[in-house]
Amino acid sequence: MAAVASDEPHAEPPPIDLPEELISPEWTGFLVSTTWHGNYQYVLDNFVDIMHPPYLHDDTYTLAYGDKSDVVQIDDTETGFIVRRKEDKESNVERMEFVACNNAHARVGVYIPPGGGPGGFLRIIATVVPIDENSSQFNAWRMRKLDGWQGAMFRFMFNNLYEPLTWEVIEQDREILETLPPWPAPENLYQHDLGVARIRRYYRREAEAQVDALERFSEGKAA
């Protein structure tokens, strides 16, 4: 088969920026993937809504902790931003980070009770892929910083105990997001929604930039 030439400005595909947790031998974990019947933009909101766990997931193994009131703060990074709780930083969700690269994803640190063994916070690497206006594919790697026999033990415990607990949280998110009205919904954001407002602003600017680029391309072809 003859090679197909690419357009000259993009002769080579850009490298895929993978998070450390997926390529480092110091981390181990599992991918869970499921289809949600809701607009993907609601899933993006969920990635950075750091105050929803103590309300929606307060009866689960990992998220049944944390105060229901706090102040949300955002710290900018070179690749995006991190959402944190100002007062209660470690009893529920340590952080929700949005990484805006050519493989945009969220990195979430979730508290694990002592019975969950060593490895610190569970690190969730989450992505969402739009299927159509009313459905999307949700993917999440559940990772812990463990190797050797401890990593093997975590994998054994995940297969035999933690996986149903993981799906319990995922199903709670899915059920609530699938009940939301078609995007965009009428709503009133407030201080706890700082992360939601920021991620929406990012994607709006990206969409506007693509529209501008398409218009310039069309004008160039017409000329």
201 SS3 class: helix
The ranges assigned to domains in the chain are 17-222
Helices vs. strands in the chain: H and E counts, helices first: 6, 7
Kindly report the pTM of this predicted structure.
Answer: 0.87
pLDDT attached to residue 120 = 87
Residue type, 30: F
Which position has the token pair 């994998």? Answer: 155
Q: What's the CA gap between 116 and 135, in Å, rounded?
A: 33
Rounded CA-CA distance 73/84 in Å is 5
In the structure, what pLDDT confidence band is assigned to residue 15 with cuts at 50, 70 and 90?
confident
Question: For residue 150, what pLDDT is reported?
Answer: 94
220: left (phi over 0), alpha (psi -120 to 50) or beta: alpha
Which of 78, 86, 109 is closest to 96 using CA atoms?
A: 109
CA distance linking residue 64 with residue 175, whole number of Å: 18
Identify each DSSP E strand in 25-104 by its residue range: 28-36, 72-76, 80-85, 93-99
Instruction: State whether residue 168 is helix, strand or coil.
Output: helix
- List, for residues 154-168, the tens digit of each pLDDT value: 999 988 888 898 899
Tens of pLDDT along 83-92?
A: 999 998 888 8
Confidence at residue 218, expressed as pLDDT on a 0 to 100 scale: 80
Does pLDDT of 122 surpass 70? Answer: yes
Query: What CATH number should be reported for the domain whose range is 17-222?
Result: 3.90.380.10
- pLDDT bin (cut points 50, 70, 90) of residue 151 is very high
Average pLDDT over every residue of 36-60: 94
Residue 12 has pLDDT above 70, yes or no: yes
Higher pLDDT, 29 or 103: 29
- Which of residues 52 and 7 earns the better pLDDT score? 52
| pLDDT tens, residue by residue, 188-211 | 889 999 999 999 999 999 889 888
